[in-house]
Structure 1
Amino acid sequence: ARLAKRKGIKNVCVTNGYMTEETLEAMSGLVDAANVDLKSFREDFYRKYCGAHLGPVLTSLKKMKDLGIWVEVTTLVIPGLNDDMEELREIARFVYSLGPETPWHISRFHPQYRMTDRIPTPADVIFQAREAGLDTGLKYVYVGNLPAGEEENTYCPNCKRLLIGRRGFSVWRYDLEGNRCPACRYIVEGIF
């Protein structure tokens, strides 16, 4: 990470967020952005399925923001485990507490590996969760792991202009001038 920083390369950390304060402090100044999995908003989920606790993940997210690390949150929505709309609203409210500019990625579950006993997340659940995030006041809420349209894209929160067009893992449009919308000059928060 130090060598990359010296060369002007940005560092991104993809993590479950289960870190010590010492680790987070060591990341400061080296990591530009982090995508953190917030798997559930229930302690029992974290204990049973992750062998961990929810509290340290929430603390890590807050600490990263305090350290100036750009944070994005991802939630994989699993039928019967964390797909309750009230729980998803709680996650949205927590993400909003990190700042309304914090992106929230809501991903569809597909049965694989050790969890083949569940169906894929119904698309309408993912879209409802996205609406809940937008209703909470989040500026950037995305859907993942399913064919989508505008729900994958980044729009200017001010004038609603399409800024970044995505299809799956491909970007087909990139229309930012630095961190600004070219139409209204709104500053779009993020690491670009």
Structure 2
Amino acid sequence: MNTENAEHPEGQHPAHYWHRLEDGRIQCDLCPRDCRLNDGQRGACFVRQRVGDEMVLTTYGRSSGFCVDPIEKKPLNHFYPGSSVLSFGTAGCNLACKFCQNWDISKSREMDRLQDQASPTAIAQTAQSLGCKSVAFTYNDPIIFAEYAMDTADACHAQGIQTVAVTAGYVHAEARRDFFAKMDAANVDLKAFTDEFYYRLTGAHLAPVLETLEYIVRETSTWLEITTLLIPGHNDSEAEIRAECAWIMDHLGPDVPLHFSAFHPDYRMPDVPPTPAATLTRARQIALEAGLHYVYTGNVHDAAGDTTYCPGCGAPLITRDWYEILSYHLTPDGHCPHCQHPIAGRFESQVGRFGRRRIPLRMGG
């Protein structure tokens, strides 16, 4: 499904995943919102639009910015630790999170914010020239620019570059299959573990996200890690955290890393206080008690919550300070050197040493 070279008006690219309705509208089949559009209307994501009798993607080849990051910032702690990743996003989102931490990008309705232009091939070549192990589709949800992300993934794989999706996982089955077939790793935001939270604070539903998580683990080779942003008074009760961890154990298994991240007041929730570090520490303990092997804390300075421990003997194997690796003790084939327990993930014989740098880039045509 490569449409990089298709002819189309400036700023418009043919989109997949839609069908015509008997009443004359067309329905977008990308995600469970099922937006039904008359000519000229845009979906809830704002970037998929009906033009005439077709659906187009209005952000193909246009980005809100590029940056070289440590892979741990995605966060992915078990996917080539210490390596660098070329990150980029576009505009728009198919969720309406009141707590969005990237709202200036994901909620943007101004296409002139998209100042960087780059073809899939240019992105792959740039990543290779910068020594990046992977390219990440992030900042806003790559599901809504699936055609651009998938074409870029093809170009990256041709250059030996891995691909990473940072997503909320809110997607229909056909697009889910096509999209994750091209992703080497994903961090999925499991925003809460109640449908009431999803409906009230994101305008979406929980069930499709759980379906995506199960699909990735059972039907793909994509490496999966999960992030839950704990928001005081909304999704941080011990009961909800226990329910989430029990579901992960039962449906995904103990080896899927789980990141609990700290909320900071932003967007439409400026009056909610930041997440106390103690809440993250307690959530991590609950997850470990539930049997999960790899549990991390984010957006706080927490040595234990940054460290990868062996599930077999408990030895610290990868110690981190924020996004910087301080020590690395895995064998070349990804085992604990003390008890030979296999550590789940994607590893190389030499750990990367990119550190905590963040390098913004400017790209053009």
1:83 corresponds to: 236
Equivalent residues, number? 192
The counterpart of 1:180, out of the listed 335, 341, 344, is: 335
How far 1:6 moved relative to its partner? Answer: 2.6
Summarize the alignment of residues 97-176 of structure 1 with structure 2, pairs less than 5 Å apart.
97=250, 98-176=252-330
Are the aligned partners of 1:95 and 1:104 in contact in 2 as well (CA < 8 Å)? no
Summarize the alignment of residues 1-16 of structure 1 with structure 2, pairs less than 5 Å apart.
1-16=153-168
Are the aligned partners of 1:35 and 1:74 in contact in 2 as well (CA < 8 Å)? yes
How far 1:180 moved relative to its partner? Answer: 1.5
Matching residue's letter, 2:338:
A
Ranges in structure 2 where 5+ consecutive residues have no aligned partner: 1-152, 348-365
RMSD of Structure 2 on Structure 1 (CA)? 1.3
1:25 corresponds to: 177
How far 1:28 moved relative to its partner? Answer: 4.1
1:189 corresponds to: 344
Summarize the alignment of residues 12-91 of structure 1 with structure 2, pairs less than 5 Å apart.
12-66=164-218, 67-91=220-244
Over residues 21-40 of structure 1, what are the superposed CA-to-partner deviations in whole Å (9 max), with x where a residue is unaligned?
11221134421111001111
Q: Which runs of at least 4 in structure 1 moved beyond 4 Å after TM superposition? A: none
Counterparts of 1:27 and 1:191, CA distance in 2: 20
Counterparts of 1:47 and 1:41, CA distance in 2: 11
TM-score by length of 1: 0.94
Counterparts of 2:155 and 2:314, CA distance in 1: 38
Counterparts of 2:216 and 2:236, CA distance in 1: 26
Structure whose alpha-carbon radius of gyration is higher: 2
Counterparts of 1:8 and 1:178, CA distance in 2: 20
Query: Which structure has more RCO (C-alpha within 8 Å, separation ≥ 6)?
Result: 2
Ranges in structure 1 where 5+ consecutive residues have no aligned partner: none
Q: Which has the higher helix share?
A: 1
2:247 corresponds to: 94
Are the aligned partners of 1:106 and 1:129 in contact in 2 as well (CA < 8 Å)? yes
Are the aligned partners of 1:37 and 1:75 in contact in 2 as well (CA < 8 Å)? yes
Over residues 136-171 of structure 1, what are the superposed CA-to-partner deviations in whole Å (9 max), with x where a residue is unaligned?
100000011111111211011112222111111222
TM-score by length of 2: 0.51
